[in-house]
């Protein structure tokens, strides 16, 4: 079974530029998550989709970050314009359903963003 795919793996941009990340979840997984992980910290949830609807975006900086999940499959996360503090690893995860005890999240390898 193929895992969660993300691209690109690395991205370097200047501040105030725009950037987009792509995620392809595991086939059949209805729930998709985007996390931001700053060096030395645990991942922080930015947005959670159930199919193509947003169920939690409370920690998404909506003035510069946007995300969409068309047709309930692939997803893109965009930053416009980028700031220095956006330098981080952006992780995508997906899960199948909420079984007893909570669903298991499967993570992609992440995209490492450096903002200069």
Partner 1 sequence: DAKTTQPNSMESNEEEPVHLPCNHSTISGTDYIHWYRQLPSQGPEYVIHGLTSNVNNRMASLAIAEDRKSSTLILHRATLRDAAVYYCILRDVMKTSYDKVIFGPGTSLSVIP
Distances (CA, A) of 7 to 29, 85, 88: 19, 21, 15
Query: How large is the greatest C-alpha to C-alpha distance in the chain, in angstroms?
Result: 45
102: region left, alpha or beta (phi > 0 left; psi from -120 to 50 alpha): left
User: For residue 73, which of 29, 104, 111 has the smallest C-alpha distance?
Assistant: 29
Between residues 30 and 73, which has the closer beta carbon with respect to partner 1?
Answer: 30
Q: Is 108 in the site for partner 1 (CB under 8 A)?
A: yes
By CB under 8 A, residue 17 contacts partner 1 = no
Among 18, 51, 104, 114, binds partner 1 (CB under 8 A): 104
Regarding 39 and contact with partner 1 (CB under 8 A), the answer is: no
Binding site for partner 1 (CB under 8 A): 4, 31, 33, 35, 40-45, 48, 50, 55-56, 91, 93, 98, 100-102, 104-110
């Amino acid at each position: 079974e193929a895992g969660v795919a993300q691209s690109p793996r690395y991205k370097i941009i200047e501040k105030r530029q725009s950037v987009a990340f792509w995620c392809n979840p595991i086939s059949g997984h209805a729930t998709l998550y985007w996390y931001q992980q700053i060096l030395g910290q645990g991942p922080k949830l930015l947005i959670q989709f159930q199919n193509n609807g947003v169920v939690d975006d409370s920690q998404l900086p909506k003035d510069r970050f946007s995300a969409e999940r068309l047709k309930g499959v692939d997803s893109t996360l965009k930053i416009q314009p980028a700031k220095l503090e956006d330098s981080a690893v952006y992780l995508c995860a997906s899960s199948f359903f909420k079984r007893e005890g909570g669903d298991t999240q499967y993570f992609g390898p992440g995209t490492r963003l450096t903002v200069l």
